[in-house]
Amino acid sequence: AAPGRQSYKIASIPADGIGPEVISAGITVLQKLSEELDTFDLEFEHFDWSSERYRKEGKYLPDNALEIVKGFDAILFGAVGAPDVPDHISLWGLRLALCQPLQQYANVRPTRILRGTSSPLSNCKIGDLDWVIIRENSEGEYAGHGGTSHMDEAWSVATEVSIFTRHGTERIMRFAFETARSRPRKKLTVVTKSNAQRNGMVFWDRVATQVGKDYPDVEVDKMLVDAMTTRMVLKPESIDTVVATNLHADILSDLAAALAGSIGIAPTSNLDPTRKNPSMFEPIHGSAFDITGKGVANPVATFWTASEMLLWLGQKEAATLLMEAVENVTEAGVKTADLNGKSGTVEVTDAVSVEIEKLA
Ligand code: ATP
Ligand code: MG
């Protein structure tokens, strides 16, 4: 590396379906940025941890997977899921098997309308919808705590216990308040279902109030998750930063992505804010087997994901330039079918590379 250039080691896990197509597009634009700017180098190592590996070896990950990824500065992840593997096996076998032990407790999901694209909401223009949804990513409804009994009997039962610890709830609240504070509007909406779920959700609200005392400059409101869905549709401009549980934020962020134009543009970051472990960056969308191999997958979610990764690594100039390039391309009408365009994955990727060259 040239003097003064930062060098980063990135573990790439393209995995299933359109994962390899969009990750390859993402790496192309990241390499282009690294060539055009004098600030950083990227070294990628690829891992074949996928449903194909699961079929062959009965496991998604090798035993030393965590040790391996801990040697990297960040992880770039595609999508996991295959038609012949139950979703709970693939999700827990790969994605959650990394996120949870790596203590990536903050899942960050920025959403806004990109130039040249539109929201399905006719009343919603660029700037009206500019949100960051913070999802608790380590416990709650996805704690994996529960069990089944008498499964073959008429009286079979299953439990799925939500877990909210003081440690887990406090750290995500602090992260959410910090995020809200870093944004111009300094507004945080705390989402629960505390009217019906009177233990964990009332606790969640209580911790929010306690942590909020350290952030008097942040304006807070509390909202039930059902009411939140209608607010997102009817008053998008009233929302800025949102913090919600693992399950609630999962649902809200799919809605958010659709309201911003397409699931094909939405990025997500699984962060370990302590920076003891590498963080993991991925498009929100899944493996999308209905369009796999057709060359039509929207790579924008992965470009935005790459931009979020650069931001986390401290390369703000490159991160901003990448999104500028992406929006110049969408504004010029070079878009995939999910954004009502006619271009394919490679065409969009090439157009973004050309834009990077112009802007750098
Ligand atoms: P998973 O269980 O992995 O989340 P899923 O089937 O629930 O998978 P997706 O794979 O995200 O969800 O697909 C949902 C729909 O969105 C599909 O019709 C898919 O084709 C479409 N889609 C997802 N990602 C993209 C993309 N990058 N570009 C275009 N369309 C996409
Ligand atoms: Mg899905």
Question: How is 291-350 classified by DSSP, letter by letter?
Answer: TTTTT----HHHHHHHHHHHHHTT-HHHHHHHHHHHHHHHHTT---GGGT----HHHHHH
Which residues in the chain come in under a pLDDT of 70?
1-3
pLDDT for 325 equals: 98
Ligand 1 binding pocket includes 284 (Cβ within 6 Å): no
pLDDT for 123 equals 82
Check residue 4 and give its pLDDT: 73
Q: Let me know: does 5 contact 41? Beta carbons within 8 Å.
A: yes
Q: How far is the CA of 283 from the centre of ligand 1 (A)?
A: 10
Give the pLDDT confidence score for residue 92 in this predicted structure.
87
**Full-model pTM:** 0.95
Ligand 2 center–CA 341 separation, angstroms:
23
Cβ of 79 less than 6 Å from ligand 1: yes
Cα–ligand 2 centroid distance for 258 (angstroms): 12
Return the ligand 1 atom nearest residue 79 CA: 3
Q: Is 298 in the pocket of ligand 1 (CB under 6 A)?
A: yes
Ligand 1 atom at shortest distance from the alpha carbon of 80: 3
* Per-residue model confidence (pLDDT) at position 2: 58
Strand order in the sheet with 6-15: 40-46, 6-15, 74-79, 279-283, 267-271, 106-112, 130-136, 241-244, 187-192, 219-224
Residue 246, H or E segment: helix 246-259
Question: Among all ligands shown, which has an atom nearest to the Cα of 82?
Answer: 1
- Two structure tokens written together for 159: 């439990």
* Residue 337 alpha carbon, nearest atom of ligand 1: 29
Assess whether the C-beta atom of 291 lies below 6 angstroms from ligand 1: yes
Find tokens 């111009």 and name the residue. Answer: 184
Q: Looking at the CA of 90, which ligand is closest? A: 1
Cα–ligand 2 centroid distance for 285 (angstroms): 7
Measured from the CA of 16, which atom of ligand 1 is nearest? Answer: 3
Measure 243 CA to ligand 2 centroid, in angstroms: 20
